[in-house]
Amino acid sequence: MKKTLIALGTFKQDDIFYDTDLKKIFSSPTNPKKSRGYSINVLATLISLPIINWLNKHFVSFQIIGNVVVILIFCLIALYFSKQYVIKLYDNIEVREHFFSSLEYKEFLTQGTKNSKIVVILWWCLIVLSAFLLLLFIVTAIFTFLFLGVMLFFATSLLTYSNVIERYKIIKQLNKELTNA
């Protein structure tokens, strides 16, 4: 995906993008989701839970600096994998210019405004929750807090790399242009 394309959401089985350079809306047919990816995530979670319980029982860290280093390592790994996931998600995507009827355009912007507000609120909540859980790990050295904190940090970084704030600003600008037209 070009760096100037921002994903705005889906509309009638098409992924909708906005090119910030050309100021045009593009679309791409939605790729069917693979259920195998969900199975792998569930399997990885189920395998990791006994490991976390074992770490909670056998690994004791009384040094805050050691806990901070562990958090930094796992957060850097989460950042790397989330960046690679977003790159692979939009890799080799073919887009075409999308044309809406006036009614479809209003419907898309109404749906997009609602969805983008929800995503921005979710993004802020994930930031606060992941920071809280990682802080709990620093203080208590309980690996369950590290696991949950890094998982939420991964979700936060996925949203960040997906340009949530830019998406919200673009939809807000498109709404403003629609009302002024």
**Which is more confident, 98 or 1?**
98
**Which range has the worst mean pLDDT, 36-45, 150-159, 160-169, 170-179?**
36-45
> What pLDDT sits at residue 73?
93
Residue 34 has pLDDT above 50, yes or no: no
Q: How far is CA 180 from CA 55, 154, 177, in A?
A: 59, 39, 5
> What pLDDT sits at residue 35?
45
CA gap 118, 47 in Å, rounded: 32
Residue 5 has pLDDT above 80, yes or no: yes
CA gap 142, 145 in Å, rounded: 6
Residue 72 has pLDDT above 90, yes or no: yes
Reading the block at residue 91, the tokens are 């890799």
Domain count, the chain: 1
> What pLDDT sits at residue 39?
64
> What pLDDT sits at residue 141?
85
The Cβ of residue 172 has, within 10 Å, a number of other Cβ atoms equal to 15
Residue 119 has pLDDT above 90, yes or no: yes
The mean predicted confidence, pLDDT, of the chain is: 85
- Which region, left, alpha or beta, applies to residue 143 given φ > 0 means left and ψ of -120 to 50 means alpha? alpha
Three-class SS state of 59: coil
3-state SS track over 27-55? EEECCCCCHHHHHHHHHHHHHHHHHHHHH
**Which range has the worst mean pLDDT, 33-42, 113-122, 138-147?**
33-42
> What pLDDT sits at residue 64?
86
- Facing residues of 14 across strands? 11, 29
Overall average pLDDT of the 47-53 stretch = 80
The Cβ of residue 170 has, within 10 Å, a number of other Cβ atoms equal to 19
Three-class SS state of 4: coil
**Structural domain containing residue 143:** 5-180
> What pLDDT sits at residue 120?
94
User: What's the N-to-C CA distance of the chain in angstroms?
Assistant: 30
Close Cβ partners of 110 (under 8 Å, ≥ 6 residues apart): none
Residue 71 has pLDDT above 50, yes or no: yes
Residue 148 has pLDDT above 50, yes or no: yes
**Which range has the worst mean pLDDT, 30-34, 68-72, 78-82?**
30-34
